[in-house]
Structure 1
């Protein structure tokens, strides 16, 4: 039984609660509803001249506190992260804009956010975001004209174009189609996310050309560290033309402007050591995530001089150049300096003159950092053009009958030089990976280029086969939903391994 005093106290408490609730409702009715801010916002940014790409951010607010948080993603360039120093007040928003500057914006409508990016370089750009239902990276593999998912995969013959590729219809070949049907049905079913392009050449003819997600026949795609393998071909061409005399000579001979950085007695690194990633330098890359700011492959991109960044590194304690493989993108970047010194032109210009022109490659982009071409991972190519690189290697340096790179360089650069693990089943050549596919208890030799985010160019000489897979999967480190080596063994090779 409640006493009169307790009843009065309870009534007083309830009255205060109601007054507080009314005041809270009045306050929030004069401000922007939290739900107007929360969600995914999308805009277009020109990362590369003439190419618009999506940039998305997701805003959320804690249920029991006033803290706003956010994350961002740029699917096509395979970058993502958290949004630091995020501040939201009524109709206004401020946050640091991904190493570029600061963004200050205003909510114009429930689904439109507009503001200005104040760049670190003093420039200003206006951005307009619209609210969307989901991340671009989560979109279905294929959609129809109404934006609905297409749930069935049906093969279509590659398009005949004036780009040097002869075409053959898979249905008119002796290829076992069932494994391919299963693989690409899995793609549209959503098992493999982020696949942009899948192309296969067989017996020198383009037999499969499929585009999903962000991929398109006429859109160049970032190939990341596959760039290293293209750079190896350029070193080979320069070597063929005697612009590079001996790959066993010290690499310091190509960097005479860096004598203040180099100590010759402590830098016995040869060009071959750089090609095989066996320089033995103090370098952190594969042992820590790329999201870690201490990763040298990330830090070098923010240095004022990429060549100096690598040349200033010492030989690791107890190490010796040539002893073992250790993944090092900095050594690949040094190869660009070697090409610049030996050919007297930037790598992209030399590539255009000595390689791309011979393959009919006209549309490409090669990123630079402070006027140094990024030969460790900055190249973008059309999928059909990138497949030509693989066909060139399969043909021992020939494209359409023309010897572009010497057969001797192709053989040497794609051979096993050093093991990449204790098992010694897989190895490394001159910026190319080597290994074996295990299919029906048969070991099939394979050479391939591999890049961050799921970029793979596989060359299988015994099957006369080249397979290309391009993705935008920066966080799929274990390749759980990326078409890669295991899919080559399970689906691709069995289709072409004739009984």
Structure 2
């Protein structure tokens, strides 16, 4: 009798809950879901739900740098319905704008990290937040997946997870709750526990071979004279060990040019001398170079020419006279007054809004002007403006930008192994991702170190390099960091001395670094795209390994 009453109470409560839900959830049809409601299960790779069995659920897992640890979460309601329980007076669209799921990570019983995932985080195929009661996400992937959950896992590791997951065995537990941010005061309200799960992680030490650790021998046929300068090889072996152990992650190459000669040429993570590296926005700097050549060859008057010289801006949306006064220089220094900022996800001119459009130049020129900005007055990273520069070059040079770059820059430097990406109008994409080998990138950077001369020929005039190697505008909120003509500027401190650098930088930790006072050029390529450690670890390579190896030379 008691059991019957309990069953009736549960049934009635369940009906009341479902009646109060905003959406009717998908029918639970698989037994594995029915038997695991309220659980986070772990699996090796992405096993489709219709093929997923209880025998696939992992109890333990050897966590490697390249692994495929996935979770599949089984709930008894949908995300939006859980949020509705927290704030029953709000419509679904507001709930999904202000809330989502909270993940809490525990290692060996200790809470390490909690994250309220962004409201825009979705759950992929079959993961509808209105009706779905199950979803799958990868925490780690060796297959090139790009998920918010993988970035969350990296943040967990960066905020104590790496220190907790030492060599040996550890119990990882994850808990999931709904959360909503209250609009009135921004306070976060968290709901009841809706799913949890744990797994034993096995962490084994990485054993590196002698070949992985030792300084890589430079092979002949590089188109570079090899330097005979002595350097501290132990420092480079320490660097190679850090990369091999994945303490420095996803580095693909390192090239060091000293006094115009090839000193170091190292490749990692399946890259080699012939690999074309996608250095993302580091390639923006090539746009500046080509603009300088176009000006010296009189195809463009100077960088003070305004956009009105090249476009009838009245034919574009949001016209106002302020647009007419935007200079090439304003776009080169990322200081135009367009309402465009890649640093602000809500900005209408953010690059993520540009890529889906049919015409990137029109997208940029259609943008409204920012009333808080003056042209040339404030730095704000703006990729669409560099696309406009590419279009100006394409329409101003004989036979277009691609042919101009080949004849005026690549051919003089004997750069033959490269690959452009293109805009929807089939113009080379000056926003980035001009792919080259590391040694070809080194030629480009060394051209600036040579004051524009290559093999006795003045490819780029000294005046343009002087302007490029001038601090044109302060970067807000970065102490002693500046921007130039699509080049970055900062000073590296080492053993009490300061060394000024100008450098090209791209997503993932890609950097081409030119030292002003030292006879040194460094190329670092990396695939740590969108990872918080990308650029910091490039800086670490320079300060903790390269400079000590060269400036404190020894065997």
Under a length normalisation based on structure 1, what TM-score does the superposition of the two structures give?
Answer: 0.70
- Whole-Å separation in 2 of the counterparts to 1:32 and 1:74: 20
Deviation per residue, 1:478-497 (Å, 9 max, x gap)? 448x6322432232223323
Written as runs of structure 1 = structure 2, the 5 A alignment for 1:108-257 is 150=209, 152-161=212-221, 163-168=222-227, 172-256=228-312
Are 1:197 and 1:471, in contact at CA under 8 Å, matched by a contact in 2? Answer: yes
Taking a change above 3 Å as real, the CA distance of residues 426 and 6 of structure 1, as seen in their structure-2 partners, is closer
- Whole-Å separation in 2 of the counterparts to 1:153 and 1:183: 8
Deviation per residue, 1:389-415 (Å, 9 max, x gap)? 111111111122222111111111221
Deviation per residue, 1:37-80 (Å, 9 max, x gap)? 889xxxxxxxxxxxxxxxx9976432556623245999898954
Aligned residues: 397
Are 1:38 and 1:61, in contact at CA under 8 Å, matched by a contact in 2? Answer: no
1:329 matched residue in structure 2:
383
2:329 matched residue in structure 1:
272
What is the CA-CA distance between 1:254 and the residue it aligns to? 1.9
Deviation per residue, 1:273-302 (Å, 9 max, x gap)? 1111110221231134xxx89771111111
3-state SS, counterpart of residue 415 of structure 1: coil
Deviation per residue, 1:410-429 (Å, 9 max, x gap)? 11122111111356511111
1:439 and 2:494 equivalent?
yes
Are 2:500 and 2:515, in contact at CA under 8 Å, matched by a contact in 1? Answer: yes
Of 45, 69, 85, the match for 2:136: 69
What is the CA-CA distance between 1:252 and the residue it aligns to? 3.0
- Whole-Å separation in 2 of the counterparts to 1:401 and 1:79: 46
Taking a change above 3 Å as real, the CA distance of residues 442 and 173 of structure 1, as seen in their structure-2 partners, is same
Are 2:341 and 2:349, in contact at CA under 8 Å, matched by a contact in 1? Answer: yes
1:263 matched residue in structure 2:
319
Are 1:77 and 1:222, in contact at CA under 8 Å, matched by a contact in 2? Answer: no
Deviation per residue, 1:132-156 (Å, 9 max, x gap)? xxxxxxxx99xxxxxx854751012
Of 337, 340, 343, the match for 2:397: 343
Are 1:368 and 1:378, in contact at CA under 8 Å, matched by a contact in 2? Answer: no
Q: Which runs of 5+ in 1 are unaligned?
A: 8-22, 40-55, 84-139, 142-147
1:307 matched residue in structure 2:
361
Are 2:339 and 2:370, in contact at CA under 8 Å, matched by a contact in 1? Answer: yes
1:285 matched residue in structure 2:
342
What is the CA-CA distance between 1:164 and the residue it aligns to? 2.4
Deviation per residue, 1:85-142 (Å, 9 max, x gap)? xxxxxxxxxxxxxxxxxxxxxxxxxxxxxxxxxxxxxxxxxxxxxxxxxxxxxxx99x
1:127 matched residue in structure 2:
none
Are 2:354 and 2:360, in contact at CA under 8 Å, matched by a contact in 1? Answer: yes
3-state SS, counterpart of residue 213 of structure 2: coil
Under a length normalisation based on structure 2, what TM-score does the superposition of the two structures give?
Answer: 0.64
The alignment's C-alpha RMSD in Å is 3.7
Taking a change above 3 Å as real, the CA distance of residues 286 and 257 of structure 1, as seen in their structure-2 partners, is closer
Are 1:449 and 1:458, in contact at CA under 8 Å, matched by a contact in 2? Answer: yes
2:473 matched residue in structure 1:
418
1:430 matched residue in structure 2:
485
Taking a change above 3 Å as real, the CA distance of residues 346 and 378 of structure 1, as seen in their structure-2 partners, is farther
3-state SS, counterpart of residue 373 of structure 1: coil
Are 2:340 and 2:348, in contact at CA under 8 Å, matched by a contact in 1? Answer: no
Taking a change above 3 Å as real, the CA distance of residues 81 and 484 of structure 1, as seen in their structure-2 partners, is same
Deviation per residue, 1:330-352 (Å, 9 max, x gap)? 11111101101210444333211
- Whole-Å separation in 2 of the counterparts to 1:76 and 1:406: 45
- Whole-Å separation in 2 of the counterparts to 1:58 and 1:373: 38
- Whole-Å separation in 2 of the counterparts to 1:466 and 1:246: 28
- Whole-Å separation in 1 of the counterparts to 2:457 and 2:522: 22
- Whole-Å separation in 2 of the counterparts to 1:293 and 1:378: 23
1:13 matched residue in structure 2:
none
Report which of the two has the higher share of strand. Answer: 1
What is the CA-CA distance between 1:216 and the residue it aligns to? 1.9
Q: Which runs of 5+ in 2 are unaligned?
A: 4-29, 36-49, 59-66, 77-132, 151-204
2:198 matched residue in structure 1:
none
